[in-house]
Amino acid sequence: MRILAFGDVVGRSGRRSLCESLPHLRRELAVDFVIVNGENAAGGFGITPKICDQFFAAGADVVTTGNHAWDQKEIVPHFDMERRLLRPHNYPEGTPGTGAGFYEDNDGRKVFVLHFMGLLFMPSLDDPFTGIDRALLNTQMGGEIAAIIVDFHGEATSEKVAMGHMLDGRVSAVIGTHSHIPTADHQILPGGTGYITDLGMCGDYDSVIGMRKEASIARFRKKVPAPRLEASQGEATLCGVVIETDDSTGLTKNITPLRRGGRLEATPPMHP
């Protein structure tokens, strides 16, 4: 199975680039399943039902979120209505939606997607390490489940790396999101789990993590109220990874970064 995962989509620029490029990328890369982190898609802050539907129409199979999941109030009931939209699973019981779901590709192969958020320098939630152990209980790859993908949304690289090693051999891949900067540590861990600390963002990199530079700089320089942050509208770079798994084991055979468009150096073409 070939799985394409995109990092945080930021603002109109990131949305436009993703929606225009995704149908072609699905064909070009012969991917079977697509995950998009959309938590910054609405002007940099959250996601709306309309934007969520646009991602699905473009070819996304699952949309994950993160700490900005609730920024747009109209999305809150949508988490209970749309099973393909996930919020971090370690929110307290009773929170709308879920962070775990079973899905199928066009060939009927099952993909289990888990979405958790880290605790270091992030909102206080339930322990993600204990929570993911619980979510994986009685769940094993290689039988009915072809692949298990974990979107771990976190600030601290150490916490993401620790999660990767804890899940090595138990899931197909652990992909980090949230920091908006792509890391260069894509690898297959010793037990066969694909890993990257952060996918990066799908947005304008002539910015401060997707936001207009001037307002962001002012917030660092001045200790008085600064201008409102707004998403930068220059040409976006799409950032993510393509993960190829072994259908018989669910483990990763190859993990390759994807960067297209915008300011960052493009990755070489990938062929199925």
Give the predicted TM-score (pTM) of the model.
0.96
pLDDT at 108: 95
Q: Give the pLDDT confidence score for residue 57 in this predicted structure.
A: 98
57 within a domain of the structure (yes/no): yes
Ramachandran quadrant class, 101 (left: phi over 0; alpha: psi -120 to 50; beta: rest) = beta
Q: How confident is the model at residue 264 (pLDDT cuts 50, 70, 90)?
A: very high
Inside any domain, residue 266 = no
In a domain, 271, yes or no: no
| CATH code assigned at 198 | 3.60.21.10
pLDDT of residue 208: 96
267 within domain boundaries: no
Above 90 in pLDDT, residue 30?
A: yes
Q: What is the pLDDT of residue 74?
A: 97
Give the model's pLDDT for residue 170: 97
Please count the CA atoms within 13 angstroms of the CA of 12 that sit on its side-chain side: 6
Residue 271 pLDDT > 80: no
Q: How many domains does the chain have?
A: 1
Residue 265 forms part of a structural domain: no
pLDDT classification of 194: cutoffs 50, 70, 90: very high
Residue 269: band (very low, low, confident or very high) from pLDDT cuts 50, 70, 90: confident
Query: What is the model's pLDDT at position 177?
Result: 98
Interatomic CA distance for residues 49 and 63, integer angstroms = 11
Cα 29–Cα 88–Cα 83 angle in degrees, nearest 5: 65
State the catalytic residues: 68
Report which of residues 144 and 198 the model is more confident about: 198
Q: Which range of residues forms the domain containing residue 255?
A: 2-260
Residue 15 scores a pLDDT above 90: yes
Give the residue-averaged pLDDT of 36-48. Answer: 97
> Residue 40 — very low, low, confident or very high, per pLDDT cuts 50/70/90?
very high
Residue 32's contacts (CB-CB under 8 Å, 6 or more residues apart) are: 1, 2, 3, 105, 106, 107, 109
What is residue 83's DSSP assignment?
T
Instruction: Name beta bridge partners: 176.
Output: 152
How is residue 163 annotated by DSSP?
Answer: H
- Taking only the tens place, the pLDDT of each residue in 118-175 is 999 999 999 999 999 999 998 989 888 999 999 999 999 999 999 999 999 999 999 9
Q: Mean pLDDT, the chain, as a whole number?
A: 96
First to last CA, the chain: 10
Q: Is residue 30 one of the residues assigned to a domain?
A: yes
For the stretch 44-103, pLDDT in tens is 999 999 999 999 999 999 999 999 999 999 999 999 999 999 999 999 999 999 999 999
Residue 269 within a domain = no
Question: What is the Cα–Cα distance from 255 to 262, expressed in whole angstroms?
Answer: 22
Domain membership of residue 91 (yes or no) is: yes
For residues 149 and 143, give the distance between their C-alpha atoms in angstroms, rounded to a whole number: 15
Q: In the prediction, which pLDDT does 85 show?
A: 98
Q: For residues 202, 208, 214 and 216, what is the CA-based torsion angle, rounded to 10 degrees? A: 120
Q: What is the pLDDT of residue 55?
A: 98
Supply 32's token pair: 């079977």
